[in-house]
Amino acid sequence: MSKEQSAYCIALEQLRLAAEQLNLEDGIHQMLKVPKRSLNVCITIRMDNGEFGVFNGCRVQHMDARGPFKGGIRYHPRVNLDEVTALSMWMTWKCAVIDIPYGGAKGGICCNPKEMSKGELERMTRRYTSMIFDIIGPYRDVPAPDVYTDAQTMAWIMDTYSQIKGYSVPECVTGKPISIGGSEGRAEATSLGTDICAREAAKTVGLKFKGATVAVQGFGNVGWNAAKIAYDWGCKIVAVSDSTGGIYNAKGLNPYKVYDHKVKTGSVVNYKGCETITNEEVLATKCDILIPAALENSITKENADKIKAKIISEGANGPTTPEADKVLCEKGVFLVPDILANAGGVTVSYYEWVQNLERDHWPLEEVNRRLETKMAKAFKDVVTTAKKDKCSMRLAALMLGVRRVADAIKTLGLWP
């Protein structure tokens, strides 16, 4: 996290800018600043060594004017209520920008999943699910994967929820394994959306996408799949990194082989034929397209000026601070903001939920065709707003999202 501003401060500042530009009523602005509901839970489990393990978790529900709350659950040692609140707000704008009938939420548990056994993770997930049980559900709030949670985590959530209910409720969570109602294409959806945005951005700025050089920060689910898809589409992946460091090869890397190397060694570093670089240096790599797909606050005012990419497509949530945004804007970098660039994940989550409610299963082609249409439409909407209001893509996306949510709030009215 940056020394100056927390994620929630950044989210509030972004909301303030959008509210100002939109001339938003003060009452609605006040309402959107604070989540509708936040639940803190203390999750106690039996660790493998027989001792108690005590973890802090939360579920934050920001706004549900456009539909049930929706958003992932992250496991990370840095998780805190401030960060999860910001992430829940970003989910609200994201669902509105991509135009799916959901509100925004996020959950998290402060833990170090890398140091926990599968059994401990399962017990922690199940206990957490039971503790947020009252506020989640298919028409209430639908969790999904986020940093260090995956399809298996979602399976445990589905099972715990279903066991408590007494019948199977696959639609209570998305990002599940396909064998229990997960959607085709969900695992790659965020990355596919990020790459679609990079491709559309390339068209917009007149850059040839095929053969474009790409650097990816982060090699988790989003980063690795984004590198793989871009490679499959003919881009040249010149640098990738994970939490242990980065690698660079001007001639290009094969992300499939880097992935195998990471599975074997636990890191992308020391992959053959590459120069070892730092995580910071990945951002400054000479490339056409930069995909930050790690955590918040990676691109700051300290390093923004070193960025050489012409296009940034934000696979992560909140990777760029507002000060860095200004620097990038002045440099003329075409930035596709997180609430648009990584909306592919929640979009396919929505398709999964629809399939579950209809007891249906769509083929991959159908899922990807719908995703492609949704992403391209949202990209166009944001570009149009940016041109009309002569503002950055970030502000345009925020304006679009905030306006749609504000319209829903006004249309619903207040009860009582």
- Using CB under 6 A, list all residues that contact ligand GLU: 70-72, 144, 146, 174-175, 317, 342, 345-346, 349
Question: For the residues of 188-256, what is the DSSP string, one character each?
Answer: HHHHHHHHHHHHHHHHHHT---TT-EEEEE--SHHHHHHHHHHHHTT-EEEEEEETTEEEEEEEEE-HH
Q: In what order do the strands lie in the sheet with 275-277?
A: 275-277, 245-253, 236-242, 213-217, 289-292, 311-313, 334-336
User: From the CB of 339, what's the least distance to ligand GLU, in Å?
Assistant: 9
340 vs 409, beta carbon nearer ligand GLU: 340
Catalytic residues: 106
User: From the CB of 121, what's the least distance to ligand GLU, in Å?
Assistant: 17
Question: For the residues of 34-103, what is the DSSP string, one character each?
Answer: S-SEEEEEEEEEE-TTSSEEEEEEEEEEEE-TTSSEEEEEEEETT--HHHHHHHHHHHHHHHHHTT-S--
In terms of Cα–Cα distance, which of 288, 283, 397 is closest to 336?
Answer: 397
Cβ atoms of 262 and 240 closer than 8 Å: no
53's tokens: 């393990």
Question: For the residues of 296-347, what is the DSSP string, one character each?
Answer: SS-B-TTTGGG---SEEE--SSS-B-HHHHHHHHHHT-EEE-HHHHTTHHHH
User: From the CB of 82, what's the least distance to ligand GLU, in Å?
Assistant: 17
62 vs 70, beta carbon nearer ligand GLU: 70
Residues contacting residue 177 through CB under 8 Å, at least 6 positions apart: 151, 152, 154, 155
249 vs 347, beta carbon nearer ligand GLU: 347
200 vs 296, beta carbon nearer ligand GLU: 296
104 vs 246, beta carbon nearer ligand GLU: 104
In terms of Cα–Cα distance, which of 292, 295, 248 is closest to 268?
Answer: 248
Question: For the residues of 291-303, what is the DSSP string, one character each?
Answer: EE-S-SS-B-TTT
3-state SS class at 105: strand
In terms of Cα–Cα distance, which of 41, 46, 37 is closest to 132?
Answer: 41
User: From the CB of 105, what's the least distance to ligand GLU, in Å?
Assistant: 8
Residue in the shown chain whose Cβ atom is closest to ligand GLU: 72
218 vs 246, beta carbon nearer ligand GLU: 218
User: From the CB of 368, what's the least distance to ligand GLU, in Å?
Assistant: 16
Query: Residue with structure tokens 């749609």?
Result: 404
User: From the CB of 276, what's the least distance to ligand GLU, in Å?
Assistant: 30
User: From the CB of 64, what's the least distance to ligand GLU, in Å?
Assistant: 13
In terms of Cα–Cα distance, which of 389, 348, 63 is closest to 192?
Answer: 348
Residues contacting residue 231 through CB under 8 Å, at least 6 positions apart: 237, 254, 255, 256
User: From the CB of 175, what's the least distance to ligand GLU, in Å?
Assistant: 6
71 vs 246, beta carbon nearer ligand GLU: 71
169 vs 247, beta carbon nearer ligand GLU: 169
